[in-house]
Amino acid sequence: MPLYLIERNFADQLEVSPEAAAGIIRVNDDVGVRWLYSFLSADKKKTYCLYEAPGIELIREAARRNGLPADVVIEVDELRPPPLPADLVSA
């Protein structure tokens, strides 16, 4: 499934309660997108969220229904460094 990175800008500092996160997940499930994880900026005014979704339009729909900004949404590919050789891992 395609991956999307969402940049969200908040006017005030963001604090998400466990109840609010559960509500976001319920809406996302209903729309058909999956929130994988988020990074919060040091000033707590911006998040970068990684999602799985069939398409960008569903990302925007979930954001709208959750009352969240989706200022920038881009499709991304996963890139991981190659595994280290065993002799370097044990060093």
Q: How confident is the model at residue 89 (pLDDT cuts 50, 70, 90)?
A: low
Distance CA 18, CA 62 (A): 18
91 pLDDT exceeds 60?
A: no
Distance CA 72, CA 8 (A): 7
Looking at domain 3-89, its CATH class is alpha beta
The tally of CA atoms less than 13 A away on the side-chain side of residue 72 is 8
Give me the residue spans of the domains in the chain.
Answer: 3-89
CB 35 within 8 Å of CB 28: yes
- Distances from the Cα of 50 to the Cα of 56, 84, 85, 87, angstroms: 12, 26, 29, 33
Which tens digits make up the pLDDT trace of 9-67? 987 777 778 998 899 999 999 999 999 999 999 998 899 999 999 999 999 999 999 99
